[in-house]
Amino acid sequence: MEPCDLNALELTKLLRGKELSALEIVESCLARTAAVDGRPGSLDSGELTAEDQRKVHAFITLAADSARAQAMEIDRRIGASEDPGPLAGVPFTVKDIFCVKDTLSTAASKILANFTAPYTATPVRRMQEAGAIMLGKVNLDEFTYGSSNESSAYQPSPRNPWKTDRVPGGSSGGSTASVAAGEAPLSLGTDTAGSIRQPAAFCGVVGVKPTYGRVSRYGLIAFASSLDCPGPVARSVKDAAAMLQVIAGADEHDSTATPLPVPDYLEGIEEGVKGMRIGLSPDYFRITSFDPVSGELLSQALPAEIEKSVRDAAQVLAGMGAEIVDDVPLPNTRYGIPAYFVISRVEAASNLHRYDGVKYGHRSGLTTNDLKAMYKHTRNEGFGLQPKLRILMGMYVSAAQYSEQYYKRALQVRTLIRRDFETIFEPRGQYRLDALLTPTTPTTAFEMAAVYGDSVLMQYADQLTVPANHAGIPGISLPGGLDDAGLPIGIQLLGADYSEKTLFRVARAYEMATENEAWRKVKPEVLREN
């Protein structure tokens, strides 16, 4: 096994034992990237070749030289018996929605293609201070607006390492693809409606959406400010816990970052689930789909393979002493997407007004002596279709004459979704759940081009993840098997505010109980010998 295939905590152990150097780890990740990634995303990509269709394309910017320099500094510190930090020598990739000083920070949009960030986002800075090594910036849906990565202005967009004719999910698709393909053991993503958990499910890795406020958003290019959560992507539950340990905590630059102490997530993580109450909800076994012809929303059963994975996981946890609570009602789950269509668009439209060609980013080269004309040309040239769509919807639903009907109502529905979760996690209530177990996604990874272009269908890919964003609660997606096509199935754990430690413990219990399952031995297609 190559160093790039080892988990982060295994790497730190080998590094401290001087069995591996940080430079060897970085070279291993760079070699894997060279083997599987293909050309990085660019604005002027030309035709997609047959070779392109077999590659992962996770990266926009590979920072090989600075990664090597950081690795040499870690090796120097270890040689000098200095403490190199808890994640010393562990390479990580960063979704290109985070500012990192002196690097291009593009949001996968033409409008920020020339933007070099003058400062570093807090979660990235904390990773670097912990000794982790940034390998580069990875691709995403433009401004995070999508669930497949196909909307990136930087093409070729990432492809699923398990089957390269499938999407990796999104919007943190470059993050999850890079981790699944062994290009890095960790990645920093963001989750606004499921953008860490959905691609984690599609790529067979672990993805964590922390409680809103657990991780600072400083330096994150904003989408929907009341929903955005930075979080870890990893190949194991313990790695994800170790990464959250590093990036969580108060930050004077983000007043929503809570001063509540960060617990020791690894302490007791293998103590099992005996006595825990874990819920299953019928409202997560029905899914909604959209018929673009009739415009009707159709309710149907979850695909049988996905439901079976969730129910099997419940059996595994029950076998370890957890009490499974059936029929937990979460009746407002199905309104998550309609409410999200309103709330996220209002916030996105507001956040996107800053891109005007004045202070940074793209400015139209068309000559004009009129400021408003400059704005219009700049925004038309710089934004792709998805940002334009979100701006227009946000302006419509927040207009004075419609905001009562749409925006206020959506915010009331958000209250109902929050109350659903408060009811089931209330320690003195009827359900008293430690965690809710659900599927992460309504399908496994879909084919490239199968959904892109239909913005309603694409949005419904997040229907099982978005309620947690409305409510602010934490969620984890972890691998729960493979479907008949050999694609990963994700299972999701949701919990009360700041219950990440409990969720990690449940997730680790499931991971340990299934470590010898045949599906865990299967590798993504790009890593199989020809």
Partner 1 sequence: MSDTITRELFDHLVDLAALHLSEDQAEYLRGQLNNQLKAINELAAIPIDPDVPINLHGVPFAEAASAGLREDEWRKYPDAEGILKQAPQVEDGYIVVPDIPHTELK
Q: Which residues ranging from 125 to 154 are in contact with partner 1 (CB under 8 A)?
A: none
Among the listed residues 40, 91, 199, 213, the single contact to partner 1 using CB under 8 A: 213
519 binds partner 1 (CB under 8 A): no
Instruction: Choose which of 35, 64, 290, 519 interacts with partner 1 (CB under 8 A).
Output: 290
Q: What is the DSSP string of 403-450?
A: TIIIIIHHHHHHHHHHHHHHHHH-TTSSS--SEEEEES-SSSPPBTTS
DSSP sequence for 89-101: T-EEEEETTB--T
User: Which residues ranging from 11 to 70 are in contact with partner 1 (CB under 8 A)?
Assistant: none
| Nearest distance, CB of residue 463 and partner 1, angstroms | 11
| Min separation Cβ 86 and partner 1, Å | 24
Please identify which residue in 301, 385, 449, 485 interacts with partner 1, judged by CB under 8 A.
385
Token pair 């729960």 is found at 480
Site for partner 1 in 354-383 (CB under 8 A): 356-363, 368-377, 379-380, 383
Pick 13 or 408: Cβ nearer partner 1 = 408
Comparison of 37 and 356: residue with beta carbon closer to partner 1: 356
Answer yes or no whether residue 405 interacts with partner 1 by CB under 8 A: yes
Interface size with partner 1, residues (CB under 8 A): 85
DSSP bridge partners of 435: 278
Q: How far is the CB of 130 from partner 1 (least distance, A)?
A: 22
Burial of 309 (0-12, 13-18, 19+ CB in 10 A): buried
**Rg of the chain over CA atoms, in angstroms?**
22
The closest alpha carbon to 481, from 441, 436, 530, belongs to 441
Can you tell me which of 31, 266, 320, 395 binds partner 1, judged by CB under 8 A? 395
Task: Cite the active site residues.
Answer: 95, 171, 195
Q: How far is the CB of 337 from partner 1 (least distance, A)?
A: 6
d(CA 161, CA 35): 12
Residues of span 70-99 touching partner 1 by CB under 8 A:
none
Among 295, 304, 516, 521, binds partner 1 (CB under 8 A): 295
Give the residue from 496, 495, 515, 516 showing the smallest Cα distance to 506: 495
| Residue 312: CB minimum distance to partner 1, A | 31
286 binds partner 1 (CB under 8 A): no
285 lies in the binding site for partner 1 (CB under 8 A): no
Residue of 305, 407, 294 lying closest to 347 (CA atoms): 407
- The pair of three-digit structure tokens given for residue 123, joined into one six-digit string: 């979660």
Among 54, 286, 418, 523, binds partner 1 (CB under 8 A): 418
Give the whole-angstrom CA distance, residue 411 versus residue 470.
9
**Smallest gap, in angstroms, from Cβ of residue 403 to partner 1?**
11
Distance between CA atoms of residues 119 and 424, nearest Å? 41
Site string for partner 1, 471-510 (x = CB under 8 A): xxx-----------------------xx------------
Q: Please report whether residue 430 would count as binding partner 1 according to CB under 8 A.
A: no
Task: Give whichever of 375 and 504 is closer to partner 1, judged by the CB atom.
Answer: 375
Q: Closest approach of Cβ 89 to partner 1, in Å?
A: 29
Q: What are phi and psi of 137, to 5 degrees?
A: -105, 135
Alpha-carbon distance of 482 to 355, in angstroms, equals 42
DSSP assignment of 26-83 equals HHHHHHHHHHH--SPPBSS--SPPTTGGGS---EEEE-HHHHHHHHHHHHHHHHTT--
3-state per-residue secondary structure call for 469-489: HHHCCCEEEEEEEECCCCCEE
Q: Assess 450 for contact with partner 1 (CB under 8 A).
A: no
With vertex at residue 169, the alpha carbon angle to CA 50 and CA 285, rounded to the nearest 5 degrees, is 135
Residue 108 in the binding site for partner 1 (CB under 8 A): no
Binding pattern for the stretch 256-275 against partner 1, x by CB under 8 A and - elsewhere: xxxxx---------------
Q: Exactly one of 470, 501, 505, 508 binds partner 1 (CB under 8 A); which one?
A: 470
For partner 1, the closer CB: 253 or 274: 253
Instruction: Lay out the site mask for partner 1 across 314-333 (x = CB under 8 A, - = otherwise).
Output: ------------------x-
Nearer residue to partner 1 within complex by CB, 308 or 388: 388
Binding segment toward partner 1, per CB under 8 A, in 197-205, 299-307, 320-328, 339-347: 339-347
> How many whole angstroms separate alpha carbon 521 and alpha carbon 45?
36
Q: Which CB, 53 or 225, lies closer to partner 1?
A: 225
Measured from the CB of residue 255, what is the shortest distance to partner 1 in angstroms? 5
In the complex with partner 1, which residue's Cβ is closer, 49 or 116? 116
Of 94 and 343, which has the nearer Cβ to partner 1? 343
- Which residue bears the tokens 């060609």? 357
CB of 98 to partner 1, least distance (A): 16
Residues 349-383 as b or e (16 or more Cβ within 10 Å = b) = bbbbeebbbeebbbbbeeeeeeeeebbbbbbeebb
Q: Which secondary structure element, helix H or strand E, spans residue 297, and what is its range?
A: strand 297-301
Structure tokens at 72: 């040499």
